[in-house]
Amino acid sequence: MPNSSLRQRITSLHADFREHFGSEPAVVVRAPGRANLLGEHTDYNDGFVLPIAIDRCVLFAAAPRTDRQVVLHALDLDETAAFGLDELAPSPAQPWSNYQRGVAHFLQARGHRLRGMNAALTSDVPIGSGLSSSAAVEVATAFAFRALNNLDISLPDLALVCQQAEHEFAGVPCGIMDQFVSALGRRGHALLLDCRSLAYEHVVLPPGVRVVVCDTGVRRELAGSEYRVRRGQCEEAVRRLQAVLPDIRALRDVTPEQLAEHGALLPEIVHRRARHVVHSTARMSEAVAALRRGAAAAFGQAMRECHASLRDDYEVSCPELEALVDAANEVAGCTGSRLTGAGFGGCTVSLVADGAIAEFEQHVVQRYRAQTGREAAVIVCAAEDGAGVI
Ligand code: ADP
Ligand code: MG
């Protein structure tokens, strides 16, 4: 049952749809953003991630058309786009509509037959704040097409279509995590995803905790270039380790013991990069076991270790991220805190007891300001269900 603010957003979306199209939508879908609790820089190493779908979402209202046109109103951007389902290509003039164009293209490429549609969308997932508003937009679009055309497509395949759309139509070579959890998340649970096989499990979160995302407000160009360097170093580690471990395909296949034994085969810096990834895989299974027995403190410890590893071995932190993590760790009700995303700015993710949220927010904002002279944006999230028709 939608809560009152979601109900209000739906009502107002209905009104906007009527105003633009002169009729009622046939379907309204929601698709959430996400936050990742554990497993950073592990996706491209075929490893594990542990995201939640959050209680912020794209709402997408749609009705079928008799022709093969798609007409879109992006209410938050006050923009309109129209395109035909037979001439799908990225639009340089309206890049925001490339997610919808790409989703339509890759659904059809898989043999799904689509009708045209009228659609209006609105979102409360902040853009570019590390909560993956783009995946929410893609998944909402795919759910709308699926509902209007009765498509027989599994949710993992739908997530893959969305990822492909982001790769090919938005030019962002993202992993599968964001789209996957937006489609398959579960309220009160995190989603453990094997980025190689796409096998997944829902893992119940301890009661009475919130996931808090804090944004440094800093974005550095370095994040993109260093990301490519890290990927290259991981590939190099695999190539060199294959000399003695011929069966490994990715760092995910290497145990901490194997890395300790054969570490001398790697240049020092590559060894440290590999150590972050290899220990992340080992840490994930322990952390998930801790969640299962309700040991929030042990899970928080895994978040802290993950942060230390990202800072010291993977070297993707920066002074602003350190200030946020330090401030978070000073709050008694904070179970764990770490940087999330590519690094060099961007966001942290923390697990915080319900009763400590107000103190956390106040303390982190004030300490961060004192340390850096900047304002931190604090976004308090709960684990929500993945996308669905409302
Ligand atoms: P994020 O980290 O939030 O995913 P991206 O740059 O990957 O940031 O994606 C943001 C893009 O997604 C926006 O520039 C826009 O094209 C699209 N998008 C996000 N939210 C909306 C919205 N409310 N309406 C229309 N398009 C949106
Ligand atoms: Mg994105």
Nearest to 57 by CA among 128, 172, 139, 148: 139
- For the stretch 157-175, pLDDT in tens is 999 999 999 999 999 989 9
Residue nearest to atom 8 of ligand 1 (CA): 128
pTM exceeding 0.85: yes
Which residues have a catalytic role annotated? 178
d(CA 71, CA 73): 7
Question: DSSP per residue over 37-94, as a string?
Answer: -S--S-GGGT-EE-EEEEEEEEEEEEEE-SSSEEEEEETTTTEEEEEETTS----SS-
* 316 Cα to the center of ligand 2, angstroms: 19
Which pLDDT does position 4 carry in this prediction? 84
* 127 Cα to the center of ligand 1, angstroms: 5
Question: DSSP per residue over 184-233, as a string?
Answer: H--TTEEEEEETTT--EEEEEPPTTEEEEEEE-S---THHHHHHHHHHHH
Report the residue among 78, 91, 98, 133 best suited for mutation to probe ligand 1: largest number of ligand atoms under 8 A from its CB.
Answer: 133
Q: Is the pLDDT of residue 73 over 70?
A: yes
Across the range 173-187, mean pLDDT stands at 96
Residue nearest to atom 2 of ligand 1 (CA): 128
pLDDT confidence bin for 1, thresholds 50/70/90: low
